[in-house]
Chains A and B, each alone.
Chain A
Amino acid sequence: MRTRLAVAALAVTLAAGCGGSTTPETPAASGAPSSEQPAAGPVTLTYWTWAPNMDKIAEVWNQAHPDIKVTVSKQAGGDDAAAKFLTAAKAGNAPDLVQAEYQHLPSFVAAEAVADLAAETAAVKAEYSPGLWGLVTLGTESVYAIPQDSGPMMLYYRKDLFEKYGISVPTTWEEYAEAARKVHKANPKVYLGSFSSKDPGWFAGLAQQAGAQWWSIAGDAWKVGINDAATTKVADFWGGLVNEGVIDDQPYFTPEWNKALNDGTQLSWPSAVWGPGVLESNAPKGKGKWAIAPLPQWNAGESFSGFWGGSSTAVSANSKNKAAAVAFATWLNSDPAALDLLVKEAFVYPAATKGQAALGDPPAYFAESQPDFWQQASAIGATARGFTFGPNVGVTYNAYKDGFDKAIQNKSAFGAAVQSMQDATVSDMQKSGFTLAQ
């Protein structure tokens, strides 16, 4: 893998011409000269991010570092943000620093839009769990970003209504299915949960939990295994429940789904650690009634989770002040004072292990029903496993939405949707000129 990326890096250096001095051919060589740059005088860095109040956090940095001024430009988040950054990078116009969701980082790397920070970040590597660190190295010796926040998955459930319907918290997916049938039988208007055909990140997290490896790299070639046994198992499980009619098929974050969460006709939600913010604003009536538990497991006795969401801070390949940018990104994501600000101002679940200690009181929404929210979350987070994302996640995610929408509409097998994700991803990668194994 390393060779492939390095070759691509070289090609882009030749093509881009401008600002090529920081492009990583060998991490050690590029790290040394650029680290002298901040001494040249005050530098200004631009930072694209969508985390709330990041401008206030940058202000704290600016106060302490008059020689490096960071200007935050708040962007819209999500897939469009990645597309916009890639376009800007192509035009040689990218910001110095950019918030990069883990699943989009490989596309930034493939486009040679982000710099290799291996030399500068060696000292902070120990701050992050190996699972998270793998998301920014893509399994190579390079480091393409510094982890900022993470989204380990857990099961949110209505404590009171679980008691009312006489179901216990499912520890396996088998028990989850049983509970879904029981609840729906007791009251046909009520569902245990919903399968969302609009949230591929959610499905990817569940696939990670089951042990899927959607992308991997063998030598110089990518291997795409979206239709592996683990993913197909997850899809067939949900497909069975949806076609049986015991699980709702309402996409998440829609007004209808919000309403169902709020009025108690939807009893649980397999979601990520950032769930409280969503519940608080979309289901205000449930305050003090929700609790969390580890995701149900595929085999009794196991304990695995996956990641839904989370992002990192990357430095543009053609930033003229790479060393200053890395210094800020490192401070932001590993300095205790900065982590404290990230938690309190930007409301993120920090990626740095010691930052998770900055989380004191539980979210107000959970104060009564789950006072040990952060302790639970941190224990669950330690069991989360991720996988390497590929360079065209956008295509895969669109294929997810199309494929599962169709499967739900036609009440057909969900396995076919997984196959369509695999086919769309492979054909797009072939078209883009990636070497594929098999």
Chain B
Amino acid sequence: MGTRTRPQTARSLGLVPTGLLVLGAIYCLLPVSWVLVSATKSPGELFTLSTFAPGSGFFDNLRQLNAYRDGVFWRWMANTALYAGGGALLSTLVSAASGFALAKYRFRGRNLIFNILIGGILVPSVVLAIPQYLLFAKLGLADTYWAVLLPQILHPYSIYLARVYAGVAIPDSLLEAGRIDGSGEWLLLTRVGLPLMVPGMVTVFLFQFVAIWNNFLLPFIMLGDDGKFPLTVGLYTLLAAGANQPSLYNLIITGALLSIIPLIALFLTMQRYWRTDLSGGAIKG
């Protein structure tokens, strides 16, 4: 976290970083605004109006999407919320508990476990999707909700983050004091450790939530039943509608727009936890 000793230099150099950030923001927001504008176009307008001219079909698109196969879109939305919400919550709890243990306990094999985890970060989860599918098929769990939830609970990078955060945020002396007062290890984790780790856990939760929300390959391979699809795989069935069917672009774009709204809402509501995080770090500076 920053020290407060260089306000003048920071101000004089402020233009360059601000400019860079504005460029970055434009880079990130341009595609989103394209989605926003395109969602208002009717199928006929999509390829005929100029790119950023709003069309007249937004409510028609919404109605069509709502009616598409008896509202299967909302089912996909609910599935995605379940995968992302449930998966991220479980993943956060597992990561926080393991991070706490790795940071605050000395035991045989601790470094080995940690090194294996670091190695795990280097393996992209995409590579694991097919072996995981074959494994789940053997267990009879393929094509179930668990098939998408379970593989995303253990996430090496989140455990790594949680360990680093626990190491910094929880003073050893606090745990010592707890032990002297006769607290058990479980109580130390739930009453002392986790409350101090909340900002870190929020970060892990958001990371995982977004990652699962956007995950395509794992559910694509795992799920055969279209009633269990998340949004990513569901919308893909509209895009790849087969060689002899035109893609339903207007529904896909409207669906994509609706699918990012929960993410935006989540970030806006979770933001204040991050602010706590930053200021907390600054005070300890």
Indicate whether A and B interact.
yes
Within 8 A of A (CB), among B11-59: 43-44, 46-48
For residue A166, CB closer than 8 A to chain B, the reply is no
B130 at the interface (CB under 8 A from A): yes
Report yes or no: B245 in contact with A347, Cβ–Cβ below 8 A.
yes
Does A52 lie within 8 Å of B241, measured CB to CB?
yes
Contact string against B for A residues 86-98, beta-carbon threshold 8 Å, 1 for contact and 0 otherwise: 0110111101000
* A277 and B245 contact, CB distance less than 8 A: yes
Question: Contact flags (1/0) for B215-253 with A, using CB distance below 8 Å?
Answer: 000001100111100000100110111111111000000
Tell me the bound Cα distance from A281 to B137 in angstroms.
40
A396 at the interface (CB under 8 A from B): no
A75-90: CB near B (< 8 Å → 1, else 0) gives 1111011001001101
Residues of chain B with a CB closer than 8 A to A308's CB: 243
- Kindly state the separation between the CA atoms of A437 and B54 in the bound complex, as whole angstroms: 59
Chain A min CB distance to B78 (Å)? 17
Distance in Å: Cβ of B151 to nearest Cβ of chain A? 15
Known contacts A76-B237, A84-B221, A91-B138, A277 near B246 by CB under 8 Å: yes
Chain B positions 242 through 273: 1 when the CB is less than 8 Å from some CB of chain A, otherwise 0: 11111100000000000000000000000000
Q: Is A306 an interface residue (CB 8 A)?
A: no
* CA–CA, A258 and B246, complex, Å: 11
Question: In chain B, what residue has the closest Cβ to A258?
Answer: B47
Contact A281 B246 (CB under 8 A): yes
Contact between B221 and A87, CB atoms less than 8 A apart? yes
Which DSSP category, helix, strand, loop or mixed, fits chain A's interface? mixed
Instruction: State which residues 272-301 of A face B: CB under 8 Å.
Output: 272, 274, 277-278, 280-282, 284-285
Whether A259 and B47, one on each chain, are in contact in the complex, defined by CB atoms closer than 8 angstroms, is yes
Min CB–CB distance A80 → chain B (angstroms): 7
Residues in chain A near residue B224, CB distance under 8 A: 46, 48, 73, 75, 88, 93, 95
Chain B positions within 8 Å of A310 at CB level: 244
A348 interface contact, C-beta 8 A: yes
Shortest Cβ distance from A90 into B: residue: B134
- Asked if A255 is an interface residue, CB under 8 A from chain B, the answer is yes
Q: Which one of B44, B130, B138, B244 has the highest number of Cβ atoms from chain A below 10 Å of its Cβ?
A: B244
Within 8 A of B (CB), among A311-330: 311
Tell me which residues across on chain A come within 8 A of B243, comparing CB atoms: 77-78, 101, 151, 201, 274, 308-309
Residues in A34-68 with C-beta less than 8 Å from chain B: 46, 48, 50-52, 55
A74 contacts B by Cβ under 8 Å? yes
Complex interface residues of chain B between 74 and 119 (CB less than 8 A to chain A): none
A407 CB to nearest B CB, Å: 24
B216, chain A: closest CB distance, angstroms: 10
**Nearest Cβ on chain B to A371's Cβ, whole angstroms:** 22
Q: Are A73 and B133 in contact (CB under 8 A)?
A: no
Query: How many Å lie between the Cα of A201 and that of B242 in the bound state?
Result: 12
Task: Report the minimum CB–CB distance from A421 to chain B (whole Å).
Answer: 19
Residue of A nearest to B138 (CB): A91
19 pairs, A vs B, C-beta closer than 8 Å: A46-B225, A50-B237, A50-B241, A75-B237, A76-B237, A76-B241, A77-B237, A88-B142, A88-B224, A93-B143, A151-B243, A255-B47, A262-B47, A263-B48, A272-B244, A274-B245, A277-B246, A281-B246, A284-B43
Q: Which 6 A-B pairs have the closest CB atoms?
A: A274-B244, A77-B242, A91-B137, A309-B243, A76-B240, A258-B47
Known A-B contacts: A91-B134, A277-B245. Give 7 more (CB < 8 A). A50-B241, A73-B227, A76-B239, A77-B240, A87-B221, A149-B244, A310-B244
Task: Give B residues with C-beta under 8 Å from A.
Answer: 43-44, 46-48, 69, 130, 133-134, 137-138, 142-143, 220-221, 224-227, 233, 236-237, 239-247
